[in-house]
Amino acid sequence: MLVAHESSPWLVKVMTKANAMVTEVGSPFGHMSSLAREYRVVSLTNVGDTSVLKDGMEVTVDASNGVIYEGRIEGLVVQRGIITAHDYKALGLLERVLQRISRLNLLDPARSSFRAKNCQTYHDIVRFCHEMAICEMFSINDYDNIRNKGIAYKLDAPLPLRIYVIDIGEGLRRPKEGKTIKPDDILSVPMRALWEGMTTEGVTWAGARPIDLKGFVSVFANTMYDPAKWERGLGETSYAIVDKYYVNFGSRLGYHFTTIDAVCGDSQEENYILFRFKGGAADLERRTRRTRFVSDVLNYYKFSVDQKEDLLNAWTKRLSCEETKELLRVVGRLIGCARQLDVVMDTDATLEQSIDAFISGNYRFFEFKSSA
């Protein structure tokens, strides 16, 4: 039997070797459950804590009634691979239906064929809509005219950041007059958690990081090589789109940008955090080290992470509201500590020291330099 924290279609790699699958979180209507039914593997999802299931324990999984019995229950054990004539008829119908539902033809968003007119199945439609929605979320900070339309409230807070908040439903306590709000006016659950992380004692947003001569030369050479960087403002406006259980926060801090998209509510199945990090002022080697710092910290907190040089995408999902809030606080602290950190990332020793310091709660680790 295979036991996992959450359901995932990646488990199909070992699915055919298991007599049954059990996950702590997930949905019987999800992709993994559909694959399990197709492979005729017994599966139970969203069962909660599985700590009572130990390695080597013999159990019987009754998927029909949602029960796991200790030991072998002969009356419930069936032989896999036996298919009746009724099964063949049902499988034939299922195959014809799935041709219109599950087959995915739009595989690569970078190809010119990734267009709405080329959607052939429901899976294509969902994939296309999801990609377009993600692109829209990550580009929200480029909408220079949002503030001028009068729908954004400026956050008056003790941070050297210009943050405008757009409320799309019960995310703010709106002022009776004016367009300025205080942190206490934030009602959005995930935005408040993110803000608590950003304002954690020791996380410093003001001032420059200590920099040696090599770091200075690295920044100077990189900006000379890319003249467009001189045109980018070092304190550009950040935007947060919020409702009671949702936040999309996009910011440009110096020469890098971050985007955080999250849902945090009572429905564990719907909770998630998406995080994107990119850029920097130093050379690629130092930027990559800084991104590795972000990556390793997020890995420590059980995020799934995809990093390529100085670009990072990370995500986590299906956690409780309290667990999601705590990870949003971590992300808030992380983006503050990562500010300008690339310029001091001169060695791998500095990288490792920074990771250890952050995890231990020392958010002023940029003040030390590697002795290497």
pLDDT in tens, 91-129: 677 778 888 887 888 888 878 888 999 999 988 998 898
Band of residue 254 on the pLDDT scale cut at 50, 70, 90:
low
Radius of gyration of the chain (CA): 25
Taking the whole predicted model, whether its pTM rises above 0.85 is answered as no
Place of tokens 């420590």: 300
Listed range (60-74, 151-165, 199-213, 247-261) with the worst mean pLDDT: 199-213
DSSP state of 237: -
Tell me, what's the pLDDT at 138?
Answer: 52
CA distance 278 to 313: 9
* pLDDT over 60 (residue 329): yes
The contacts of residue 32 (CB under 8 Å, 6+ apart) are 7, 8, 9, 11, 12, 21, 23, 26, 43, 45
Given a cut of 90, is residue 230 above it in pLDDT?
no
Q: What is the DSSP letter of 172?
A: B
The stretch 307-325 carries a mean pLDDT of: 92
Has domain 2-82 been given CATH number 3.40.50.300? Answer: no
Residue 349, both tokens: 């020793």
Residue 172 half-sphere exposure toward CB, CA atoms < 13 A: 22
The ranges of the chain annotated as CATH 3.50.30.10 are 2-82
Are 299 and 259 in contact by the 8 Å Cβ rule? The answer is: no
Please give the DSSP secondary-structure letter assigned to residue 41.
-
Residue 325 pLDDT: 97
Mean of the pLDDT values across residues 334-344? Answer: 82
Better-predicted residue by pLDDT, 142 or 341:
341
- The predicted pLDDT at position 61 comes to 85
Residue percentage of the chain with pLDDT more than 70: 79
- Could you report how far apart the first and last alpha carbons of the chain are, in Å? 49
Read off the pLDDT of residues 276-290 as tens digits, 9 standing for 90 and up: 988 776 778 888 888
Residue 223 has pLDDT above 50, yes or no: no
